[in-house]
Structure 1
Amino acid sequence: MTDNDLPPRLGNLTFHGPLSEERAVRMIERIAAVSPATVLDIGSGWGELLMRVLEAAPDASGVGIDINAEDLARGRLLAEEKGLADRVEFVEESALGTERGPVDAILCLGSSQALCDPDLPHDPAAALRELRRLVRPGGRVVLGEGFWERTPTDEELAGMWPGARPDDHLLLGPLVDLAIEAGFRPAWIETASREEWEEFESGYRHDTEVWLAANPGHPLATETRERADRQRASWLKGYRNVLGIAYLTLVPVD
């Protein structure tokens, strides 16, 4: 079986999260305005946002760290295509306790769990303390973090990921309070729109759904179909309009 026989993975996504082009541009402008020399992307995936920051800040270099080798390889190819291979490095390693700071700017979108002990429940307060440790005075952190739009019902929780609990996330206010307690001021607070969520959720499965329609008898079709159906049901019957993503642009307090 060759790679061409396998269902495609995330090829229809620009960013690995509910993030529009328009919002990304504004985020990048706010980071580039402080002229960072060093940028760290925690849980970078293929690093599209990281490379756009480097394009907007031509004196900067960047490092993307992730544990997914396939995504990192995609990032290296994109860096070659964009002419950024000499300014960005993609490294396969854990972010837990990383010594890749302090830096001038940090991106951590949907990846704060990478900064926390995997044997303990996710702790956004611990992740924020780590981000504060890793950023230089005068720098910027862009954190993309899940939060509850409202407290989910038992029925909604049952439709989400296995073992979903009310304390898996905070409401937005308490999340921002944690950022302040960790030593930041929230310079910009924004949240993903319904349209951004729908673009992401549909884009996440688009190539797989098209592949399934064209390959119903493939040896991997049953497994792939069940996985796609579970993912879609988890969104539509569980966290849709309940789980939000906050994008916080944070400034460290001197």
Structure 2
Amino acid sequence: MTALDLPRSFVIREGDLRILNPFDAGKLATLGRAIKLAPGTSILDLCSGKGELLCTWARDHAVTGTGVDISTAFTAAARERAVELGVADRVRFVHGDAATFVAEAPVEVAACVGATWIGGGVPGTLEILRRSLRPGGMALVGEPYWRRDPPDAETVAGCHARSRDEFQDLPGLARLFGECGWDLVEMVLADQDSWDRYAAAHWLNLRRWLDAHPDDELAGELRQELTEDPLRHVRYQREYLGWGVFALLPR
């Protein structure tokens, strides 16, 4: 791991997953169709992970783009995926800090799908995206929201939230976009099945890794995670926490 990287546990947990959020391939494809991507559309994807959004949209819609991610392992995987799908001439992946990255030329779509921590929340992340957008360009934001109001602090913590106010409910999120000066023009939401596919894949990745590396320095920490996370997910996260990608145009 370099000075600018994610902890090794992230790479272990994600394993061979290509989409590093509660979307599946079908929902990612639905999003690309829903926002009516035209050939040649320029996209900046901040916190691009393993590059599945850019690579599959370059294949399916002939877009061009740049992805930026802090993980050296994920960036390498994204470059391999671009070659695999035959789109390495249309997309590139940069290892770097997405919070400070600005596109060399303004883009038509700027995305941060599931990593609004780079801006300290939705408003700050929208400002980061705005820096690289051409006038009238579209922002894509992936963000959790409360499906149901959490009844107690235990539920909030079980959804990996520091407080009830860390996430909005869906109406609150739509309201927040407007308060930030953006129109919500499309959205594709995860469902409980796609949450399960993402969360449960982690459990299998962790178990396989633990079986193969019982003496690794991370084994104790990841053993505890595997012990606790399935119950946390089925009791709290899949019931109370939603997730979606929201397409926004500046007012």
Query: Normalised by the shorter chain, which TM-score bucket?
Result: 0.7 to 0.9
Q: 1:65 is matched with which residue?
A: 68
Residue identity (%) = 28
When residues 240 and 30 of structure 1 are mapped into structure 2, their CA distance, relative to the original with a 3 A threshold, is closer
Per-residue CA deviations over 1:126-150 (Å, capped at 9, x if unaligned) read: 2223333432234322211111123
Q: 1:219 is matched with which residue?
A: 215
Structure 1 residue 248: Cα displacement:
0.9
> Which region of structure 1 is more displaced relative to structure 2, 24-33 or 185-194?
24-33
How many angstroms apart in 1 are the aligned matches of 2:81 and 2:18?
A: 11
Secondary structure at the residue paired with 1:241?
A: helix
How many angstroms apart in 1 are the aligned matches of 2:243 and 2:224?
A: 26
Structure 1 residue 45: Cα displacement:
0.6
How many angstroms apart in 1 are the aligned matches of 2:54 and 2:175?
A: 27
How many angstroms apart in 2 are the aligned matches of 1:12 and 1:97?
A: 28
- Which of 44, 47, 50 in structure 1 is aligned with 2:48? 44
How many angstroms apart in 1 are the aligned matches of 2:156 and 2:54?
A: 33
How many angstroms apart in 1 are the aligned matches of 2:184 and 2:172?
A: 13
Q: 1:156 is matched with which residue?
A: 155
How many angstroms apart in 2 are the aligned matches of 1:191 and 1:47?
A: 20
Verify: 1:137 aligned to 2:141, yes or no: no
Q: Which amino acid aligns with 1:99?
A: V
Secondary structure at the residue paired with 2:244?
A: strand
TM-score of the aligned structures, taking structure 2 as reference length: 0.83
Per-residue CA deviations over 1:65-120 (Å, capped at 9, x if unaligned) read: 11111111111111122222222221111122432152111222101212x1xxxx
Q: 2:109 is matched with which residue?
A: 105
> 2:113–2:143: 8 Å Cα contact kept in structure 1?
yes
Q: 1:19 is matched with which residue?
A: 23
> 1:159–1:233: 8 Å Cα contact kept in structure 2?
no
Secondary structure at the residue paired with 2:88?
A: coil
Structure 1 residue 193: Cα displacement:
0.6
- Which of 185, 199, 206 in structure 1 is aligned with 2:197? 199
When residues 158 and 75 of structure 1 are mapped into structure 2, their CA distance, relative to the original with a 3 A threshold, is closer
- The 5-angstrom pairing of residues 71-150 of structure 1 reads 71-100=74-103, 102-114=106-118, 116=119, 122-150=120-148
- Which of 170, 180, 186 in structure 1 is aligned with 2:178? 180
Secondary structure at the residue paired with 2:102?
A: coil
How many angstroms apart in 2 are the aligned matches of 1:164 and 1:170?
A: 13
When residues 196 and 203 of structure 1 are mapped into structure 2, their CA distance, relative to the original with a 3 A threshold, is same
Q: Which amino acid aligns with 1:128?
A: L
> 2:31–2:187: 8 Å Cα contact kept in structure 1?
no
> 2:159–2:241: 8 Å Cα contact kept in structure 1?
no
Q: 2:240 is matched with which residue?
A: 242
Q: 2:58 is matched with which residue?
A: 54
How many angstroms apart in 1 are the aligned matches of 2:157 and 2:15?
A: 30
Structure 1 residue 230: Cα displacement:
3.8
Q: 1:3 is matched with which residue?
A: none
Q: Which amino acid aligns with 2:37?
A: A
> Aligned residues, how many?
238
In structure 1, list runs of 5 or more residues that go unmatched. Answer: 1-5, 117-121
